[in-house]
Chains A and B, each alone.
Chain A
Amino acid sequence: MPDGISAQRARYLAGRRRARLAVHGLRALLLLSFFAGWELAARAGVIDPFIFSSPSRVMRTLMTMGLSGELTVHLLASLAETAAGFLLGTALGTLIAVMLWWSPFLARVLDPVLVVLNALPKTALGPIFIVWMGAGPGAIIAMTLAISLIVTILDMHGGFTATDPEKVRLLRTLGATKGQILRKLVLPANLAAMVGALKVNIGLSWVGVIMGEFLVSRAGLGYLIVYGSQVFKMDLVMTTVVLLAAAAGLMYRLVLHLESFLKKTMGVTV
């Protein structure tokens, strides 16, 4: 037993360690048994590997794609589009939300527009973007924006207008201008909401990018999935889905890091 720690404390800490180990262990086991079951079922002929693929086929596909440089091209294309849509959606959404907060009159005028755009299935706009912007990254990013922008505006504007009116009153008695109320109170008070919007947007941006790539494009993970299914290369489709899961998880992790960084620098409590 280390110095300065009571027996009770040591037991508590050991218990916590055990619980954490069990969680991580079970997670790894779950993942492993999924892949093992998939592989075994394919080898035993329970499922047809031509249709369902198998982990070993996925690994092989990954290797060949990696060696030929295909992997990098498609992964980078999708990552770049997602990042662009994500950043643009968040920045533009916040900017528009600020404008609506600034002018309640404008917010009232635009309310039905936002409600209808929010309810509209954004995928319906895909063909329009292709006609307007051509079959390329432009249309895909527009698609991503269409999906994430409106939600961001509504979420952020809701947060801005819900800022504690007593704090606004305090700032006004101290002689604050509207711009100061925005910078000193409304934005920092809603940092948590902004991080929340980032988290939602990362998922929505992937939806937009894959949707967009289904419709147009000659590169990207969405393209690989559509191409693979059309020529019945299910190995390629499955490999891409696995890659997509890894990329989406990785990007979400990045946002979590950004969140803890913002919390540390701004001291915001969520």
Chain B
Amino acid sequence: MMNDVKQSITGNQVSSWRGPWTLLKKELLRFWRVSFQTVAAPVITALLYLLIFSHVLDKHVQVYDGVAYTEFLIPGLIMMSVLQNAFANSSSSLIQSKVMGNIVFVLLTPLTHLQFFLAFLIAAIIRGLVVGLCIYLVAMWFVDLTVASPWMLVAFGLLGSALLGTFGIIAGIWADRFDQMAAFQNFIIMPLSFLSGVFYSIHSLPPFWQKVSHLNPFFYMIDGFRYGFFGKGDVSPVLSLLIVAASFLVLALITLKMLKSGYKLRS
């Protein structure tokens, strides 16, 4: 009788990649099942910004020579949505699982902290990029955007969404209640993304606020992403890329340390 159990344990081909892949698949399905809220809604919001700001400012503002304000605005709006949605994906999934208590299903498994991190991270990147791509496709109806440096788009798209997806994991682990998560959204993510130069070039700001903007990591992600379209930006794209990559690395290490120690997940 006992042999039956042993055989079933050893008989099943246990795959080391299937665990994290399953968690990733579950995270992707989770947002896809409610795609009206997780994809359609942010696309509509971004397009409303685009319609209103371009209607009001297109004839009055020109940030770069030869680039209409609407064209200038679109890359910033795409990147802002990518970042906000990458953050929203990992943070909301974790806080919901914690509040509902179903995070225990994952905590009881042999998944390592690195596998846990990668599954949530990749799901956040994909959600961010899906929303960004949808906005881009819809925006193409309004403006014919050319791409100067596709690799810069890819690099900033991936690194930016990875950075915010990681930040979302930290917020999701740290927050115990939905109002704490809302504070993260309203007092950190929203101000940093609105004050990052989505709607303006920081060169139009007074010198003091230009310096303050340089402390905002969102600025480098927006500026670098915009460079991918126009081949010009407020700062060097290489500098932006290094800052974004370094920020991601720091946050990823913090997240892995939190997960390894079981901070707020395994008391």
| Co-assembled chains A and B | no
